[in-house]
Chain A
């Protein structure tokens, strides 16, 4: 869990002061800062975030990171494939707590709208010692950052688009000297009846996607109280109600399948801070309810799961720039579905200890951490990590980190009947990363480059494989080695009211199966399914006074659809663009926005059997009180 700290501009400045200027405070997380040492980090900048305000986190990451997003189509499930890992090996952290569903071990990024969060960051690489189980391939940080003393602000957005898309979102912020609250509401719905070309029936005219409509609703509220200059109390509440029909592309007889996802998440956080000490106590309760109905197949599945967290973390600045920290985390997961024998529980308690060091006048920063954990089913490894960051000379920083990472089995993997296996071991392994960051400002030009290479071996990788009666069993079956590189190159120009920018992000992933317990297995040294070796994301932006335009182009390489690499999907390239025009009318700020997706009308599939729309449009208006 992370600690909210009020800081004056930077972390170091915070520790140099005994009192805090409330007018200039900025809330960041100390633990996030520590976890980012020696890592490749991709913050989503405010302009980009604004452009994707009414899209999902899946859309945002798909276009602005080197993560491969497995997308089942608009409104469909989206999950992340981080550095050759799977969705369960990514930590999705809301204000520092993992919101992955305890039964499934993943959460649907389509159901998370960007507008709920003030700050979104991508942390590449494993950090199990800091973030716990699941932070194997990387972490996605979704943070709220309510500020004091900002007055009253109201934003409303109405948007529309192709295939019956309708967006409505509104948020109200009331921010006083010692108290701040915000409420955000959103609704997104779509008929989602887009046309597509059928790769099987090539002679046919365009087909229309059926039974794919969706309706997503949510509400987030935050209260923050400054009890006194040393204490803050925050409560975040997030409610979701999402309905969607699930299409089936190849079925001749379209069946009605529906899924309802309801979730409620509440975090209460108390933070105490002084010049050298800060601590936090956090309690949270996350509930997920998933109702899947397929009447034609007589499948009526209802599942309820709950996760309760209690966490304490403490930071002590024992010497200038040296920070010692420790904490405990206790969680209880419980879930009920008819496929379990009865209500099932997982209890976990962990102890975290670590230290951040700074040497050579801040040129060398390092962090060392360790975590021991008790797990009610089986044992979990002792994990730890070490990270270093060295500023070679002014524009160049070299990074390195090594860590032991793990993922504990999910409730379904342990208890699903048939096939669950309560003798499963945690997936675990080691990860290493090295890289360099370069940043240079030349007059009006800013040039940035960062590159990283990594290697990660995971043992006891869990797979569901066939067992009796055509059902499946979860087994620790294979060892996977993921290695690769990532680069980000950015060039920006800014003068007066002109802003020009470009960025190119690349990813090369080789994620292969090193060993398997199955006889006559043909997967050794083969690439994992749906893990493209090559990925490229490029964009070009132009900002002129109050008009902003950005063009995206993406390339995704071959995605194998079988583990023996005997079948694959061809690479695809897709382009899109977005614009934004902002102007003021008296005390109201208006923003017109629009986007065109799949600009060149490409026929493409991210996943087999899941058609993506041809060219589509989206537009809307945002009204903001100044």
Chain B
């Protein structure tokens, strides 16, 4: 058996190294703010980044493609009815002789506008309602929450359909109808967040320094609830786009020539069996891709902004 003799401890091993009082406190690495950290994590998520890339591209096309397109989509051109995709009409033409490529980008404008507008309005109503409810607490909160619980039970699409029937179909009515029912989810999330955060120490600290309610809400509560709110917004956009397409498909969409993707798909339904596949394929493809992009981006943002809630 070999016994290991430990080396004799020597005094110089335990001498303190020279302290550098000047540099000890310097920050070596750049400090990462919450948003920078989230962005760093999001960038590692390839799927979410490709979703983001697709959406940026889609937005650019939606803005510029209709302007640059040489095709007229306001007057009927019988000579060019239902042409398959070619070098002149990349996505083919429809039964009015309109270029499907050009119409697709007008559709992108409508769909993106509806989605983003619905998400923004939900956001404003949601943070005000949810913020007040969560911050005030007590009786106010329970009354406001009862209202939300009842509204939450409403079948949203049915209410939207009803509103569309009554108000007539236009871009504004779609957005109004979608937000009348849509803000509830956002308000619930904001309230839950505010309820949790308002008891944190930094809010108490803020209060003890004499900060008033508006300042606390603006400086302490809102910035810290932003993560889940942004995730919710990213997921609101595709559901609004889907709802718009769904309504258009039921015949409650906006009218020609500036059709949305849902309207284009609906118009294509009767002719799909006669082999004009491009009429349905392109709007359907872009609806699906946009929903896909927003969904993966939303998932990625959720992981990036809210690591605790990672699913």
Indicate whether A and B interact: no
Q: List residues of chain B with CB under 8 Å of any chain A CB.
A: none
User: CB within 8 Å of B: which residues of A?
Assistant: none
